[in-house]
Amino acid sequence: MQALPSLRMPIASAAAVVGCLAVVGTARAQPARVSSPQELARAQGALVAPRTGFGAERELRAAGGRLISPTLGIWRLPGTAAARLTPALAARGALRYAEPDRARRPVAHMLDPYATSTYAWHFGAIGADLLEPPGVGFPITVIDSGLDLAHMDFVGRPDTVALNAQNSGLPDGEDYHGTFVASTAAAALNGVGAEGVYPAAALRVYDMGTPTSSAVIAGIDAAIAAGPSVINLSVGGPGASLAEYDAVLRATKTGSLVVAASGNSFDRGNPAEYPADFPHVLTAGAADRSLLPAFFSSSAPGVDLLAPGVDIPVAHPTDPTLYAAVAGTSFASPIVVAAAAWVKTVRPELTVGQVADVLRTTARDVGDAGRDDRAGFGLLSLPAALAAPAPALDRAEPNDDVDEILAGRVFPNGQSTVNGTKGRNTTLAATLDGAEDPHDVYRVVVPAKRKVTVSVKTTAPLRLDLWGPSTLTTWIGRAGRIAVGTRNTVVWTNRKARPVTVFLHLAAPVRSRPTYTAAITLAAAPR
């Protein structure tokens, strides 16, 4: 990858930008499925997901609700209206969840100007300088503040699509952050300004305006409607949103990979932040020039890998002699996004889940030996990811909980029973990950008067249990649990005169990655 002339010019002006993000703390927080009326009333807005078939949509619309995600059936209401309406919906079983529309902080703030003598060091850090980037291929979607379509690196740039109206603001303001992020991933190779890691990438941009959970969801919906891509989210905030999580799952199911910046709060309490902490999100921390975690890069079980996040060059919109040096996990994330799109383009046979696994497992170990909470699996290595064997394919994902299994919840069609409609012996094989895929749930048919036994062989300890057909969630509490596994075996007998479909649930502890096979066998019920 050749250096552009502008990279060697004297620096007349520079600004440092630090993205404002943070990631997980220790154990994953589990959000309440229905927030209290008091919490909803205090919020300016609320997100409400009704169950289909109960007629709740009419009541939501009458209460001032707006359908923000037709694909997920998520409504936004004024907080006070949601506080009045949701208790009655919950009482008659018409509610999946209700929660505040959580604020997602602006992703950057401006600091005093500074400059660096080596401009594009991040290409060498990830091995991109040794490779010729591909042509147009698997797309990148940046959900952020708007892209400056008049910027010299984007004006007339081929294969750039605005998914909505773009408002970029001024280069010294927070609204310009989306342009900085897009530039890091995909600035054009055109002889001026900076250069993106994947300069010929098909680029889609969505301006989410004020960053909130509902804005993130709307951006993901727009990305899904445009087709599979690698989605960049350099935004975050406290409070786990089930609605955001559903949007991530829908993106994953429809062939997109969601990448999020891990956070900049290691030196400020290391709080949990979302969407970085959700399963199925590839979470990027920031490395400094020593190729170790930057002092601000958040530490958590959900961190997957590092990419450069200090002194990343972005060009002035009109003057190629001027640039800003930006820092933050906000800019490590689009480097990972560009690498993921590059790998998917060159290796189209891989699923996006396999691309994420390749990037994790080929990262170069840095810092503490082995996978750790600050560096994840290590520093991104693009050459290694391009050359690595294809990882195992887990076709059932995402199958984290009951809502992903049953039709009409997160996904229109749900998932079939693993042992057929009449029940038969069968075997499952998959991998869990305590941070990225901590739960696997399957539907199992147990015929009348039959005993089901599930025996698991696993490379690391995991939890195993069975849940009844009316279970709402296997994540929280015990309501609906019918059998608990011991010594990697769980047994339950259906004494009814009809078949019963139950949920098989396997869960991995934090910081573990067990591979398992589960044998499901049926026998006559004991007398």
Q: Which residues does the annotation mark as catalytic? A: 144, 177, 330
Tell me the CA end-to-end span of the chain in Å, nearest whole number: 73
How many whole angstroms separate alpha carbon 19 and alpha carbon 99?
A: 26
Residue 159's identity, in one-letter code, is D
Residues whose CB falls within 8 Å of the CB of residue 372, separated by 6 or more in sequence, listed in order: none
Q: What is the DSSP string of 23-74?
A: ---SSPP---SB--HHHHHHSSEEEEEEPTTS-HHHHHHHTT-EEEETTTTE
Contact 99, 245 (CB under 8 A): no
Strands in 312-315's sheet, in edge-to-edge order, are 108-110, 16-19, 323-327, 312-315
Exposed, middle or buried: residue 300 (CB in 10 Å: 0-12, 13-18, 19+)? buried
CB atoms near residue 92 (< 10 Å): 11
**What is the helix (H) or strand (E) element at residue 517, kind and residue range?**
strand 515-524
**Strand pairing partners for 387?**
none
For residue 1, which of 118, 116, 121 has the smallest C-alpha distance? 121
SS3 492: strand
Phi, psi of 6 (to 5 degrees): -60, -20
CA distance 205 to 164: 8
CA-atom Rg of the chain in angstroms: 24
Angle, helices 329-346/352-361, rounded to nearest 10 degrees: 120
**Residue 455 backbone phi and psi in degrees, to 5:** -115, 130
User: Residue for token digits 């290796």?
Assistant: 347
Q: How far is CA 282 from CA 230, 279, 285, 396, 449, in A?
A: 10, 8, 10, 18, 44
DSSP 183: H
187 bridge partner residues: none
Task: Please give the C-alpha separations between residue 454 and each of 123, 362, 501, in angstroms, as whole numbers.
Answer: 49, 34, 14
> What residues does 493 pair with on adjacent strands?
451
Can you spell out the DSSP letters for 327-387?
Answer: ESHHHHHHHHHHHHHHHHHH-TTS-HHHHHHHHHHTSBP-SSSSSBTTTBT-B--HHHHHH
